Each structure stands twice: as C-alpha cells, then as structure tokens.
Structure 1
C-alpha cells in the first residue's frame, strides 16, 4: 500500500514542480538501454512482448522513471553536502576496505616427472633442472628457457603465472620465495610429480591506499547512503502532509 501511496505522492510532486521529460530524452534513454544490453529494436520488442508490454507503454514507464529521477535530484540529491571531515572519518574507520593484499608475480619452469617411483627418471630430471639453473646463472633469459623446457602452465608465455595473493600460496613455496628479491630465482623445488624453478617477477607489499586514492569512492558511498536516508525522510514528510483517500 505504501508503494502505491509513494508513487502517487511522487507523481503529484512532479506535476506541482512542473517537471517534464521530452520525447527526445526518453528516446535517448531507450537507446542507451539498448546499447548497454546489446539489444536491437527487434530484441527489445520481443522482450517487451514477453513481459506483456507495448512499446508505447514501455516509453511511458521510461518517461515516468526519468521524471522520478529528476524529482529526486531536485528534492534530495541537490541538497546533500558531504563534508571533508565525514570522508576522513569514514576512511579512518574503514581502512581495512582500502588495504590491498600482499601479492607476488611469479614465473616458473616446471619439469614433470612421468613416474615418480622411477629412480633413473628422477635423477635425469634433477640433472636437467641443475643445468637450467646453471644456464640462468650464466645470463640466459628465464622466459626463453621456460618456453624451451617448461611443461607447466604459462610455458609459451615464458613461464608467466601472473599475480597471486600470498595467502593463496602453498606454505612451502611461500617460504622459499619470501627470501627471494624481485628478479630472484629459486633453487629447484622438488615435488612428488614435478620439479619447479620459480622466478619472483615483482612483489607488491600489503599497503593502505592513501586517502587521495579513495576519496572519490568514499564520497560515493556516503552520498548514496545519504540519498537513501534523505529520500525516506522526504517521502515520510510528504505522507504526513498529504491526504490520500484509498478506495478498496
């Protein structure tokens, strides 16, 4: 029932303030909806038909929605002021929201052990890993060696594995790479079925983003919250002033 009352109150206020939306604005809004949803004219008409709507009734709905948006902007949004102190206070209370996780960019050369119980294969693979390490120490490019020898993911991209949150990594692997600087390369890491040679491409420490980086985001959060609260108060005030007879 309140929804019907609120729609009627909003409609009356729109008329009282002389708010109007032109046919061109309605068409522009519909074109934007089509573009955002990759819809053709036929797609839109088919969708409307499934909802039991004609194109004209849809246009009227869009017009009404645009008028309500304009009303809210006039009566609510334009009267909202977010002070710098409020932004700072929110930032101090919600720093966890603006803290980036510790991340690390890795590349790997992975040698696969077809039969881990085969001692000869294991010795051969260890020897191959040591030869790769030696070539790296002599200055050969990690990416090129990964393309040539790696049998793991990202081999054709020079062994690039991308960024990982450190919390996602296996503790054994994390213990090894934490000791490496950017550009550092691990000794062969022996696993059950593989041998890994890891390169630390880049490290990103956990950091709190400065206020200047997140001021806009905080403003948006506070503004939306204030709009919702102010709109509820505004509608409540209209209800108290209005006399609406509801027929059942």
Structure 2
C-alpha cells in the first residue's frame, strides 16, 4: 500500500468512520468510562462463546473489557453481553482478514490517524491524554486503528460495488426535497446617501438625490452610484447582490415590490439615509438547477445507502458466514444481531 495516498480515500468509506473506534476519541476527547471490571483472583476460565469452533472464554472477555473494549462507543458497552458481542465481531473480522489476506501496514494506519486528526482538529497529544485517562497505551490504540483500517478495506470490498444510485433517484430527490427549492429572489443595487445633521444640508441633499435619480433612471445607475453613493458597494456600481425578497427589510421590500427588472426607485429615506434602488433581475420561486447540485445529491444518497448496506452487512451477511454459539452464566442465549 502506498503511504502517500490517504488510507481513507483508498478504502473509500469516509461516511462510515463515525462508527469506528476513532469516533469515540475524536468526538470531543471526553469519554466517560466506568471503571474496568477487575478480574477475580481465581476467575473460572469457562467457555462462554465460540466462533467457528474456536472458544471465547470468560478470561478473554475480562481482558477485552479491561482493554480495547474501552474504545467502543457507549452504546456498544452498556452490558457485558454488549461487550461480548463486540468481541465476537472482532473474532469474525479476524477470520475475514485471514480469508481475504487483508492487512494494513503501519504507514496505512499512520495515514488514517493523520487524516482523522486533521478532520477533528485534534492532535496526537490529545489522543494520548485521553488514552492515559482510560489506562490505555498508544500501542493499544494503534492496533485498534489497524483493525479499523482493515475493517474499512473489507467492507469496501464487500459492499461498495453493491451500492448504486441511479440518475432517476437523483432527479427524484431533487424534485421532492425542500432543500433545493428557491424562494422569490431579486438582484438589486443601492445608491446610499447618508443625511447630514444640518437641516439645510439635508434638504440640499434631498434635491441632489432627485438629480441623481434622474441620471440613474436613464440607464446610468452604475455611473451615478460610483460618483455619488457613500455605500460600501459604490465602486461596484452600487451592486448589492441577490437576496430572498422575504429577507429584505420591510422598507426595502416595499420599494422593490414596485419595480420591474431594470427599473429604479424614487429616492426614499430610512434610518438616516436616502436610498435609490435598482432591480437588476428577478428570480421567481423554483428549484436550484439540477446541474448545480447533481453531484451533491448523488453523494448524499450514496452515503445514506452505503450506511444502510453496511449496517445490514454487519447484522446479517457477516454473521451468516460464521458459526457462532453463545452461552453466558451457564445458560445458552441468542447472540444479538
């Protein structure tokens, strides 16, 4: 594997990283953990489960609980049975790695960790401090990340090719999602003339504003704005941009409502200034052009389907490949799926 290429990109399942052990530390580095259950001095090494005939003993479970299980998300370690299920999954994955020959080299694990550090805005020192609070070492974490990278590689191999999003699905999402609706919008410009405090000067400016208006309405709005406007967009010919009509102030919305495309408002006063508006273009309600959001919609649908397929693969496909028996506290019970 080439360490120069991001392990995340090669394994192609960035949408799934939040369910990995990385997410436990990266989501704030403030994991609250119950104290590790100490192993009894004379713990009976009873067989409590098996994967493809290989036993999992009570001692195995205690060691896992005190070690890597502390990197599990809280919902996966609520009870000893939850932790046993995680240990069973780990054993099944180990067999899948052996079957497929998947192995993550150290440089791949380093690249994966580095990419997550960048994304989370954390540092290795942050991770090491969190590990120390858990009573774990960097080596414990590194090996857990190696398993995570190998899992991503396996899942990528197993499910990615089975996830497809058709052009029809993209178009349907575009047509039905409120996210891509556009409101009534307008592109406007403004000549801004702040009124002086002196009443005589203010009155003189009102007279000048009429002259500026006459210049602007004859097709010379930009020229008038550059010459007379005191607003921040004067050098751009008074161009303010495109706005939802509903987002405009009440006074601006009222004046804009009077204008067709290309028309200029008569001077009006608000908040101690004279304004002269121009409507450059109107955009009626509709939808964002599909061409502008096609890739965004595709990626969103793909990530959703990938997550669903991943969960089904974990719940059903992986389990079917292996013979799992579970017996806890002397009584057989059905392993969670």
Q: TM-score, normalised by structure 2?
A: 0.58
Aligned equivalent of 2:180, options 98, 102, 107: 98
Q: 2:102 aligns with which of 19, 22, 37?
A: 19
Q: Do the aligned residues in 2 keep the contact of 1:10 with 1:68 (CA within 8 Å)?
A: no
Q: Deviations over 1:163-207 (max 9, x none)?
A: 211110134422432443444322112335221011223433332
Aligned-residue Cα RMSD (Å) equals: 3.5
2:206 counterpart residue number: 126
SS of the residue 1:203 aligns to: strand
CA shift for structure 1 position 154: 3.2
Residue 134 to residue 84, structure 1, CA distance change in 2 (3 Å) = closer
Structure 2 distance, partners of 1:55, 1:201, is 61
Change (3 A) 1:37 1:103: same
> Which stretches in structure 1 are left out of the alignment for 5+ residues?
none
Q: In the aligned structure 2, how far is the partner of 1:217 from the partner of 1:182?
A: 32
Query: Paired residue for 1:108?
Result: 190
Structure 1 residues 60 and 204: CA distance shift in structure 2, 3 A = farther
Equivalent residues, number: 240
- Deviation per CA, 1:59-113, whole angstroms, max 9, x where unpaired? 3343222112122222333322334554444444x24332223322222112223
Stretches of 4+ moved more than 6 A in 1? none
SS in 2 for 1:243: strand
Which is bigger in relative contact order (C-alpha 8 A, separation at least 6)? 1
- 1:154 is the counterpart of 2:233: yes
C-alpha spacing 1:82/1:158, structure 2 compared with 1 (3 Å):
closer
Match of 1:218 among 294, 297, 307: 297
- Residue 314 of structure 2: aligned partner: 235
Instruction: Give the C-alpha shift of residue 235 in structure 1.
Output: 2.5
- Matched residue SS, 2:186: strand
